[in-house]
Structure 1
Amino acid sequence: MKQIAIIGECMIELNGKPFGEMHQTFGGDSLNAAVYLSRSCELNANPNDIKISYVSALGTDAISNGMLTRWQDEGVNTDLVLRDEQRTPGLYLIQLDDQGERTFLYWRNQSPARYLLQHPQFDDIAQALQSVDLVFLSGISLAILPEEDRFTLLALLTELRQQGVEIAFDSNFRPALWPQNEALATVKEIYTAMYQTTDLALVTFDDEQLIWGDATPQDTLVRMQKQGVKRAIVKLGSDGCLVGDFESNAEYAVPTTPVETVVDTTSAGDSFNGGFLSCYLAGGSLTESCQRGNAIAGVVIQHRGAIIPKSATDTVTKKRLRNCHVYD
């Protein structure tokens, strides 16, 4: 059995128009990826051969309890979710334009996940991470932490990598989460350190371009190779993705099938990550993993919300994945 630990934060999600109709659920980039990873594992020949653990902190309130139950219902292991009696989950509001693109407002400064590394039981989590095959986190996982905790987490990831744990990272840049007076300088410092300990980068070109000024996705691959990444997937939206396997000196594109009606892009990258990792951990090639990620994301963006109804990710997605060798 392969074991993956996904580090991050899940919040209460409000989706709709201010002072208008609102839909309340939960979401967060890393948790979204965990859910779509779990659902995508059903496409594997051995669906139960990947154990997905979420690493975070929640309160002890009714909403936190409800989140925990729903994650478990999705097949996500919650043994590594710590409980904080002093804090309650953060909140975010998604606003969509007519093209399905989104903007966010956050209320999360006192969320339990922000203080994950300061929890009295975090040493137990760090110990448990030594037993997994892959650790995945995002730029948001880093951004929400106090400055000193970011470097503590980076040191832990470096140690885990030295012990043979594979590290995967999605840069997922949210400017509002970083110090505004020095946002890019801080992000570049943290991300440079992160890429030095990253085996697999799953990034979006728009984010990389905004941070580093890359002119093309190929420039992103060149830079990431210099920064120490072993394999990089650059997500390009409707153009699919670009793969850089630096260990074999290979670079190639993996196209996707365009979606005619885009309803909500909120979880496009997260669902790609989940689909990709479900195939990758089951032994699929980078190409096959990208194909699965593209297919899952193509389904998700046709629905509203970060986590769409499970029925919507089943039949449609399976029909698009018959060419993946880990499909049963």
Structure 2
Amino acid sequence: MTENDTPKKIAIIGECMIELNGKPFGNMLQTFGGDSLNSAVYLARAAKQQVQINYVTAMGSDALSEGMIQRWQEEGINTQFVLTDNTRQPGLYLIQLDDQGERTFLYWRNQSAARYMLQHRDFELLTTKLEKMDMVYLSGISLAILPEKDRKTLLTLLRKLSEKGVEIAFDSNFRPALWPQNEDWKTVKDHYAELLSFCDLALVTFDDEQAIWQDISPEAALDRLEHAGVKKAVIKLGAEGCLYKNLQKKESDALFITTTPIEEVVDTTSAGDSFNAGYLSGHLTGLEPERCCVRGHQLASAVIQSQGAIVPLSATQSITNQFKLTD
């Protein structure tokens, strides 16, 4: 990308919550996070003004909401798509870590402002702005938090955006507790299947795909995504690496891109979110898929060596500086 090029525009739809990180009745770190917001922050750091990142959500008018929005702006995120709900506040979650850095979550989000963003009187005004985006990105959590009627409304909107040429990117990011516990995850499958039918780029984790669809292998997941209508897919395999395939080129082979092992993993909370950000920072600036995957691995590797969903800028700076130098 040259100085005269217009930056690509991405809208990221989701929820940011207050984060408490630590041991109950012990030391707690209070910050903020949420899968889509995590990706927005790390994309802003990785893209270094080569991409315009617009976050789409609803927040309260309270001091915590205002403080979070200010910090997003400091990260370089455009917050003009953030709606203000004077009757609600952000949700809250608690992360508990085990000795291996793996985490469990407790949530308080049923009445969060983001859950009702599509019912906000000004949400319709955002739809015309979304048509001007190059890409819209969301996750399974972005869908799961919404009331059922609003999920259908959002899927209809995304399909229309796709028909107008906006690229749709999706991370299935499956959280069972957020979905109806019906047989064989029918509600999840129905919603995901509709979105995947017009999805340009799927950035999914194999464990999630296996839990929902019972895929027997990453290759089987790629085959299913191809038949679902997805154009390009990345299957994240944790410490092993990832599998990429252009599903429109039936004769092409999947690419397996390894990652460098990390000796000391501190916190895996944003591993997938930061991988997505690293990948998208390359994708939106025209890099080849393999290089995009390498970016994703490098950024995620830096993030999991610090605690919290949003790690300090210093923890990712050397990697994101390297992106600009090498690409």
User: Aligned residue for 1:122?
Assistant: 123
- SS in structure 2 of the partner of residue 117 of structure 1: helix
1:299/1:317 contact within 8 Å kept: no
Correspondences of 1:274-293 after superposition (within 5 Å): 274-293=277-296
For 2:243 and 2:126, the matched residues in 1 are separated by 34
What amino acid is the match of 1:265?
A: T
| Structure 1: 5+ residue stretches without partners | 43-47
1:6/1:53 contact within 8 Å kept: yes
- SS in structure 1 of the partner of residue 87 of structure 2: coil
User: Aligned residue for 2:238?
Assistant: 237
* 217, 238, 253: which one aligns with 2:256: 253
Greater Cα offset, 7-16 or 247-256: 247-256
| Structure 2: 5+ residue stretches without partners | 1-6
2:168/2:201 contact within 8 Å kept: yes
User: Aligned residue for 1:188?
Assistant: 189
- SS in structure 2 of the partner of residue 243 of structure 1: strand
For 2:192 and 2:74, the matched residues in 1 are separated by 34
What amino acid is the match of 1:288?
A: R
1:263/1:304 contact within 8 Å kept: yes
What amino acid is the match of 2:9?
A: Q
Instruction: Kindly provide the CA deviation profile for residues 16-69 of structure 1, in whole angstroms up to 9, marking residues without a partner as x.
Output: 111111110000000000000000013xxxxx2311000000000000000110
TM-score, L = length of structure 1: 0.95
User: Aligned residue for 1:92?
Assistant: 93
For 2:212 and 2:281, the matched residues in 1 are separated by 28
CA drift at 1:183:
7.1
- SS in structure 2 of the partner of residue 160 of structure 1: helix
Instruction: Kindly provide the CA deviation profile for residues 226-285 of structure 1, in whole angstroms up to 9, marking residues without a partner as x.
Output: 000000000011111000111223311011111111110000000001111111100011
Correspondences of 1:10-25 after superposition (within 5 Å): 10-25=16-31
CA drift at 1:184:
1.0
What amino acid is the match of 2:216?
A: A
User: Aligned residue for 1:166?
Assistant: 167
Correspondences of 1:64-75 after superposition (within 5 Å): 64-75=65-76
- SS in structure 1 of the partner of residue 297 of structure 2: helix
What amino acid is the match of 1:74?
A: E
2:45/2:320 contact within 8 Å kept: no
For 1:99 and 1:186, the matched residues in 2 are separated by 33
User: Aligned residue for 2:229?
Assistant: 228
1:172/1:207 contact within 8 Å kept: yes
For 1:17 and 1:182, the matched residues in 2 are separated by 34
For 1:66 and 1:323, the matched residues in 2 are separated by 33
User: Aligned residue for 1:59?
Assistant: 60
1:175/1:183 contact within 8 Å kept: no
For 2:81 and 2:184, the matched residues in 1 are separated by 31
User: Aligned residue for 1:178?
Assistant: 179
CA RMSD in angstroms, aligned pairs only: 1.3
User: Aligned residue for 1:33?
Assistant: 39
For 1:269 and 1:316, the matched residues in 2 are separated by 16
CA drift at 1:322:
8.1
For 1:86 and 1:322, the matched residues in 2 are separated by 43
Percent identity of the aligned residues?
A: 60
For 2:294 and 2:320, the matched residues in 1 are separated by 11
User: Aligned residue for 2:4?
Assistant: none
User: Aligned residue for 1:45?
Assistant: none
1:308 matched to 2:311: yes
- SS in structure 1 of the partner of residue 83 of structure 2: strand
* 264, 268, 275: which one aligns with 1:265: 268
Taking structure 1 as reference, are residues 316 and 280 closer, same or farther at Cα in structure 2, changes over 3 Å only? closer
For 1:69 and 1:323, the matched residues in 2 are separated by 29
For 1:247 and 1:183, the matched residues in 2 are separated by 29
1:295/1:317 contact within 8 Å kept: no
1:54/1:80 contact within 8 Å kept: yes
For 1:106 and 1:268, the matched residues in 2 are separated by 19
What amino acid is the match of 1:90?
A: G
Taking structure 1 as reference, are residues 84 and 299 closer, same or farther at Cα in structure 2, changes over 3 Å only? same
For 1:137 and 1:312, the matched residues in 2 are separated by 25
CA drift at 1:317:
5.1
CA drift at 1:182:
4.7
- SS in structure 2 of the partner of residue 99 of structure 1: coil
1:263/1:303 contact within 8 Å kept: yes
Taking structure 1 as reference, are residues 157 and 322 closer, same or farther at Cα in structure 2, changes over 3 Å only? closer
Count of aligned pairs between the two proteins = 319
User: Aligned residue for 2:3?
Assistant: none
TM-score, L = length of structure 2: 0.95
What amino acid is the match of 1:10?
A: C
